[in-house]
Amino acid sequence: MSISFKDKVAVVTGAGAGLGRSHAIFLASRGAKVVVNDLGGSLDGTGESKSPATQVVEEIIAKGGQAVANFDSVAAPETAQNIIRTALDNFGTVDILICNAGIIRDKIFWKMPLDDFDLVMKVHLMGAVYTTRAVLPVMKEKKYGRIVTTTSAAGLFGNFGQTNYSAAKMGIIGFMNSLKLEGQKYNILINAIAPLAATRFGEPSGIFHEEIKPFLRPELVTAMVAYLCSAQCQITGDILSAGGGYFSRVQIVEGEGIRFDPKHDVTPEMIHENLSRIIDMQNSVGFFSITDELNKSLGPLVRG
C-alpha cells in the first residue's frame, strides 16, 4: 500500500523551517497541494519575513509539486482565517491542517513577564484553535478532514523554565480531547504529535548533544505526521510521540484507585493511610471520553 495525497489540499502552519518545512515538502512530494504558512519571525515571535515560506514554496515547485505561500500570523482569528482563505482561493478546499507554528520565550516562572506567558499561549494554543475553527466549516461540509496538532514532552511531562510553553502544549491536548468527539460524526479526525527533532527550537537550551543531532532529523517525525494526515488513518484523539526513529502512543491514564463507602465520611487521615494504594498506577487504564471515566469512578454507585 502506498499512501498518496493526490488531490488533497494541506495547510501547514509554521512551515518555513524545521518540522513544518519537512511536513510541507513531504506532503507535496506525495501529491498534496500545500499552503506553506510562516510569519517568518524569530524564535521569540518578533519580526517578520516572507523569505522562509517563499523558499519552501520554491523548493516544492522546483521538484514538480504545487504550493503557495502565506505570511499571516496564527495568533489572531482574522489572520488565521486568511491562512485558510489562501487555500480556498488557490486550491478550492482544505483536507488537511497541520498546526505546527510556535515560538518560545523561556524563563523561570517567577521571573517571566506575563506578556511572555500570554503570547506563547496565544501562538501555540490559540493558534491551533483559530486555524482549526477557520477550517472546520470546510471539513464539516465535505465530511472529511485530518487535523494534526503539535504538543510537546514539555507539556506532557514538564520542563524547567517553560511554564508558558508547557501550559500551551497541554492545553492543546484538552482541546483535542473534546474536538475528537465533535468531529467523528463528520469524519474529521484530530490527533497530536509530540515531536523530538533537532530544529532551531532546541538550540537555545542546548538540549541535544552534537553527536545525536544527525539521528533527530525532522523527516523522522514527518513520517508519523503524514500517516495521521492520510485517508488510511482512522484513529482520533491520540497523542503520538515521534523522534529519532522512535514512535509510541502517550496516554493520560487513571489508576485503579480505592473506594471508600460514600455513606460515611472520609477523613484526611484515611487518605494518608491509603495513599500508596491511591497513587499506585500498576493497573492504570486510559479513557476515550469523560463518560468512560465516570462509568469507572461512579458506575458502581449507580449500579448499587
Active-site residue set? 165
In the chain the beta strands, taken as DSSP E runs, fall at 9-12, 33-37, 66-70, 96-99, 145-150, 188-195, 239-243, 246-250, 253-254, 285-286
Please report, as a single letter, which amino acid is at residue 293: E
Instruction: Kindly give the interhelix angle for 163-183 and 127-142, rounded to the nearest 10 degrees.
Output: 10
* Contact between 53 and 40 (Cβ < 8 Å): yes
DSSP 209-226: -TTTGGG--HHHHHHHHH
Burial group, residue 265, by CB count within 10 angstroms (0-12, 13-18, 19+):
exposed
Residue 116 CA to residue 15 CA, distance in Å, equals 23
